[in-house]
Amino acid sequence: MNAYDEYMQGIVKPMRSELTNAGFKELVTPEDVQDHMATAEGVSLIVINSVCGCAAGLARPAVIAAVEELETKPNNLVTVFAGQDQEATATMRGYFEEVPPSSPSIAIWKDDQLAYFIPREQIESNSMETIKDHLSGVLTQIVSS
């Protein structure tokens, strides 16, 4: 590993652990993504994480708060890190090619298809509370249907 990679790993470690400490499983290789997508049952909440400010101040806190307040939670909480685990992120994005790549973003996967997607544009233009409430409402509908 070169000095740049080592530096970036140190920078993003707290950004990764914010989600993993909240129960998200990090998928860091294409094989991790493929294994999850091939075997996951029920609803998967997928966070495409990022180093940007809207991930730190909006996406991650909103996702964590939404999951905490749900009575019935998604079966699977997973995350890939755009810009860091590039192959894993590209593999995950390949499952929902119908939406343009954006990070951060939030995908809900159910019954082997994309059930809902929140792109960066809907994250950076809203408050954390608005994103949390939106995601909670959508997850409640999808998880209970």
Residues annotated as catalytic are: 52, 54
Q: What share of the chain is helix, strand, coil (3-state, %, to 5)?
A: 55, 20, 30
Helix (H, G, I), strand (E, B) or coil at 26: strand
Alpha-helical segments (H) within 21-114 = 30-39, 53-54, 60-69, 86-93
Helix (H) or strand (E) holding 15: helix 3-20
DSSP 78: E
The C-alpha torsion from 25 through 60 and 62 to 77, rounded to 10°, is -10
The four Cα atoms 136, 142, 143, 145 give a dihedral, to 10 degrees, of 140
